[in-house]
Structure 1
Amino acid sequence: MPETDRARDDAWEYSLSIPTDPRAVTVCRRTLRLILTLHDLAGLVDTAELLASELVSNAVLHTKGPACLRLRFRDGVLQIGAWDADPEPPRPPGRPDDPGEAESGRGMTLVRACSDLWHWQPLSRMGHRGKLVWCELNAA
């Protein structure tokens, strides 16, 4: 089996703890790009960066406390998640064809429109109650 095929089939996971700082979004995007490129998944980079930016932006801008970016790959599916210390569910996404007049609040609409699946779940981490908001992209 060629090296690139084996790399795509291997399961892996990365977590990046991030500060409550808007610059964390850029750090997460660049880290994600490097990880996906090194795992021969460069075809997912543009969409994955958009999704990670939206999830991490929500975690950093709308919560107080620690946050974390989590990337998982298994069985041909990339899962991108952002954990934050706020246990409240994310704001439900609007319809992709009706962005409205709002200057903000469209992040989860983009996540819903650009991912194959998204959801959230309560999750404790680092001694803090919180939630993980995640989405998936099929690599095939």
Structure 2
Amino acid sequence: MATVSPPWSYTLQLPHDPRAPGIARATLRTVLAAHGLTELAPTAELLASELLTNAHLHTRGPYALRLLSVEPDRVRIAVWDTDPRVPPGFGEAPPRAAPADAEHGRGLPLVRACADSWGASVLRELGASKGGKLLWAECARAEWPVG
């Protein structure tokens, strides 16, 4: 009889500190290992790293990493920050190509290329909500053809 694992989620609140993205990536690896999803770690860590670095570089306030089981073999990596502006190339418009000599500008197009799905939500300040935005990306175990 097949078993179904219950859905799970983790949220890690992070201060605006240059060490925060590394701590979040270590937490991500631990969570994936605890749920038997270590094969997702390389892609999930890349996605998280780009989203976390974007939040750290382009905002002044705290940010948060949220991990969510979307399906048994699929995880959503989401990063919340205090700035409600969705970065160019992560909304509806296609990403802009970074100039060859640019030091920044490749992260979010990389997320779009490596994620199975991705998106953004602008959060309004309501009650206890702090507003801002949530950028997310999903990755899943590869489905191998049977036969």
Question: TM-score if structure 1 supplies the norm length?
Answer: 0.86
Residue 17 of structure 2: which of 21, 30, 33 is its match? Answer: 21
How many pairs does the alignment contain? 134
Q: Deviations over 1:84-105 (max 9, x none)?
A: 000011221637xx65312101
Gaps of 5+ in 1: none
- Which moved further from structure 2: 98-107 or 126-135? 98-107
1:127 positional shift: 4.0
Structure 2 distance, partners of 1:28, 1:91, is 24
For residue 89 of structure 1, what is the aligned residue in structure 2? Answer: 86
**SS of match in other structure, 2:53:** helix
Query: Contact 1:20–1:61 (CA<8 Å) still a contact in 2?
Result: no
For residue 117 of structure 1, what is the aligned residue in structure 2? Answer: 117
Structure 1 distance, partners of 2:99, 2:36, is 38
Tell whether 2:41 aligns with 1:45: yes
Question: How is 1:51-130 mapped onto 2 (pairs within 5 angstroms)?
Answer: 51-75=47-71, 76-92=73-89, 94=95, 100-101=99-100, 102-124=102-124, 127-130=129-132
**SS of match in other structure, 1:40:** coil
For residue 133 of structure 2, what is the aligned residue in structure 1? Answer: 131
**SS of match in other structure, 1:54:** helix
Structure 2 distance, partners of 1:31, 1:105, is 26
Q: Deviations over 1:9-42 (max 9, x none)?
A: 3310000000111211100110000000110000
**Residue type matched to 2:51 in 1?**
L
Query: Contact 2:84–2:132 (CA<8 Å) still a contact in 1?
Result: yes
Gaps of 5+ in 2: 143-147
**SS of match in other structure, 2:105:** coil
Structure having the higher helix fraction is 1
| Larger gyration radius, structure 1 or structure 2 | 2
Q: Percent identity?
A: 46
Question: TM-score if structure 2 supplies the norm length?
Answer: 0.82
Query: Contact 1:119–1:135 (CA<8 Å) still a contact in 2?
Result: yes
Residue 12 of structure 1: which of 8, 15, 18 is its match? Answer: 8
